[in-house]
C-alpha cells in the first residue's frame, strides 16, 4: 500500500534509477485521453500520459519521447506480441517507464490533472490529504519486451496470410469505387504540370522533411499536408498550399494558415471532418473516396495532373497498417498501382542522404 503523506506533491521526481530490476517511484500530474493523437497535443514535459492504445506504434512512441513524458500508463497492452511494432522499444530506450493496467476498465478512474504516485505494481492518486490506491499495473521490462518480440516473430507468417487475404478482398471491393469523384473537386490550387510534395504522418516524416527542405526552398513545389502532416510543414518553416484529410489530427493553426482545405469523406459522402471546419468558420471541399487520406491525396494530385508526387511519411507495409489498426491495405495497393509512374516515395530518405545533397538527388530523378 501507499505511505500516506501530509502534503501534496506536484513536481515529477524519480526516487531511484529506472534501470532494469530497480524499484521506481514517480510522482506527477497526468493527462488522460483515449486518443493518443489528442493527448500529444496537450501533454507537457514531465507529465504522465494515461492512454488506451493497443500495441503503441513507433510514431506515437517517438512523439511521447519528444514530449519528454515522465511515464506512460496504458489501459491496453502496450506490446501484445501479435506483430513486431517498434514503439515499445522506443519508450524503453528513452528510459520512459511504461505501465499496463491490470484491468482495462480502471482507465475510467483517471481524471485529467490528477497527481499520481507510481510504483512498479501500483498507482495511487492524491486526494488533497493522502495518496490512495487507484489501480494495479504491471511495468514493461526489457525481458518482457524481448519475449513478446520473439512471439511476434513467430506469428509473422500467420499474420501475413491474414493481412494479404484482407488486402486482396478489400482491393476487389474498392476497385469498383476507385474512379468515382476522383477529379470532380473544384480546386483553385493548380497542380497540372507541377511537382507536388505530400506529407503524411508516418515513420520519420519530420526527419525526411528536413532532408528535403533545401529542395523545397529552391524548387518551390506545391505542398500538401495530409492531416497532421500540415503541422510538420509549418514546424519546418513551410506553408501548406492544400490540406486534405479527416481533419482530426491537424491543428487549428494549420487549418487557418490559408491553405485550401479538402475533407476526405466516406464513399457515402458522410464527412465528420466537415463539422470541425464549420465550427471554426472555415469552408472546404468534399472528396468522397475509399481508403486512407493518404490514398486520397495521391489520387487527387494525380487526377489533377501533378507531374511528380514526392511522398513523405507513407504507409506501405503490413506493420504500418497494423499500427493504424487496419487489417489490410487494398486501397493503397490500388492507388499505388495507378499513380506509381509519377510517385517518388521518400520514406526513410534521412537514412540515405544529407540535406546538402537532397536537392541534387531529387532533381536527378
> Could you read off the pLDDT of 128-163 as tens digits, one per residue?
788 889 999 999 999 999 999 999 999 999 999 998
Residue 276 CA to its chain's centroid (Å): 20
Dihedral sign of CA atoms 127, 119, 96, 150 in order: negative
Query: Among residues 78, 318, 350, 347, which one has the least CA distance to residue 203?
Result: 347
pLDDT (mean) for 319-346: 87
For residue 48, the model assigns a pLDDT of: 98
Among 75-89, 165-179, 230-244, 286-300, the minimum mean pLDDT is found in 165-179
Q: What is the pLDDT of residues 292-315, one digit of tens each?
A: 999 999 999 999 999 999 999 888
For residue 16, the model assigns a pLDDT of: 37
Highest mean pLDDT among 176-180, 297-301, 343-347: 297-301
Which uninterrupted H or E stretch holds 128? none
pLDDT confidence band for 7 (50 / 70 / 90):
very low
Give the span between the Cα atoms of 206 and 62, in whole angstroms.
11
Residue with cell 519508450: 91
Give the span between the Cα atoms of 179 and 296, in whole angstroms.
11
- Contacts by residues 239-245 (CB-CB < 8 Å, ≥ 24 positions apart): 240/199, 241/189, 242/187, 242/189, 244/287, 244/293, 244/296, 244/297, 244/300, 245/273, 245/293, 245/296, 245/297
Which uninterrupted H or E stretch holds 117? strand 115-118
Which uninterrupted H or E stretch holds 221? none
Q: What is the pLDDT of residues 22-57, one digit of tens each?
A: 456 899 999 999 999 899 989 999 999 999 999 999
For residue 6, the model assigns a pLDDT of: 33
Mean residue pLDDT across the chain: 87
**Residue % of the chain over a pLDDT of 70:** 89
For residue 74, the model assigns a pLDDT of: 98
Residue partners of 301: CB distance under 8 A and separation at least 6 = 191, 196, 198, 224, 309, 339
Pick the residue with more confidence: 9 or 221? 221
Grid cell, residue 62, equals 517517438
For residue 9, the model assigns a pLDDT of: 35
DSSP string, 326-360: -S--HHHHHHHHHHGGGEEE-TTHHHH--HHHHHH
Among 26-40, 85-99, 326-340, the minimum mean pLDDT is found in 326-340
Q: What is the pLDDT of residues 181-218, one digit of tens each?
A: 566 899 999 999 999 999 998 878 888 899 899 999 99
Pick the residue with more confidence: 245 or 181? 245
For residue 179, the model assigns a pLDDT of: 66
Task: Give the three-class secondary structure for 91.
Answer: helix
- What pTM does this model have? 0.77
Query: Among residues 208, 255, 14, which one has the least CA distance to residue 118?
Result: 14
For residue 8, the model assigns a pLDDT of: 38
Give the span between the Cα atoms of 58 and 61, in whole angstroms.
5
pLDDT confidence band for 323 (50 / 70 / 90):
confident
For residue 318, the model assigns a pLDDT of: 83
Hey, what domains does the chain have and what are their CATH numbers? 13-147 (3.50.30.10), 195-364 (3.40.50)
Strand partners, 323: none
Amino acid at each position: 500500500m501507499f505511505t500516506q503523506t501530509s502534503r501534496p506533491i506536484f513536481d515529477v521526481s524519480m526516487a531511484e534509477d529506472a534501470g532494469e530490476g530497480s524499484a521506481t517511484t514517480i510522482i506527477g500530474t497526468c493527462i488522460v485521453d483515449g486518443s493518443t493523437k489528442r493527448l500529444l497535443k496537450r501533454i507537457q514535459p514531465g507529465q504522465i500520459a494515461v492512454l488506451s492504445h493497443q500495441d503503441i506504434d513507433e510514431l506515437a512512441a517517438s512523439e511521447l519521447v519528444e514530449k519528454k513524458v515522465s511515464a506512460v500508463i496504458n489501459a491496453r497492452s502496450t506490446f501484445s506480441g501479435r506483430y513486431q511494432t517498434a514503439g515499445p522499444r522506443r519508450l524503453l530506450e528513452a528510459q520512459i517507464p511504461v505501465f499496463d493496467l491490470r484491468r482495462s476498465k480502471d482507465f475510467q478512474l483517471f481524471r485529467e490533472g490528477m497527481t499520481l504516485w507510481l510504483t512498479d505494481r501500483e498507482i495511487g492518486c492524491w486526494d488533497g490529504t493522502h495518496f490512495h490506491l487507484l489501480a494495479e499495473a504491471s511495468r514493461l521490462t526489457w525481458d518482457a519486451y524481448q519475449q513478446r518480440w520473439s512471439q511476434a516473430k513467430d506469428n509473422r507468417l500467420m499474420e501475413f496470410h491474414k493481412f494479404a487475404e484482407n488486402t486482396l478482398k478489400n482491393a476487389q471491393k474498392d476497385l469498383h469505387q476507385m474512379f468515382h469523384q476522383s477529379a470532380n473537386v473544384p480546386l483553385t490550387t493548380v497542380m497540372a504540370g507541377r511537382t507536388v510534395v505530400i506529407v503524411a504522418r508516418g515513420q520519420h516524416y519530420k526527419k525526411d522533411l528536413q532532408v528535403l527542405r533545401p529542395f523545397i526552398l529552391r524548387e518551390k513545389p506545391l505542398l500538401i499536408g495530409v492531416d497532421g502532416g500540415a503541422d510538420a510543414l509549418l514546424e519546418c518553416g513551410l506553408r501548406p498550399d492544400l490540406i486534405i484529410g479527416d481533419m482530426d489530427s491537424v491543428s487549428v493553426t494549420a487549418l487557418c494558415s490559408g491553405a485550401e482545405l479538402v475533407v476526405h469523406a466516406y464513399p457515402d459522402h458522410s464527412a465528420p471532418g466537415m463539422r470541425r471546419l464549420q465550427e471554426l468558420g472555415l469552408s472546404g471541399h468534399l472528396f468522397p473516396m475509399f481508403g486512407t487520406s493518404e490514398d486520397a491525396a495521391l489520387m487527387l494530385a494525380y487526377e489533377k495532373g501533378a507531374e511528380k508526387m514526392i511522398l513523405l511519411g507513407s504507409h506501405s507495409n503490413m506493420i504500418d497498417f497494423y499500427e493504424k489498426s487496419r487489417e489490410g491495405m487494398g486501397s493503397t495497393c490500388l492507388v499505388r498501382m495507378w499513380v506509381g509512374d509519377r510517385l517518388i516515395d521518400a520514406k526513410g530518405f534521412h537514412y540515405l542522404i544529407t540535406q546538402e545533397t537532397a536537392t541534387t538527388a531529387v532533381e536527378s530523378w
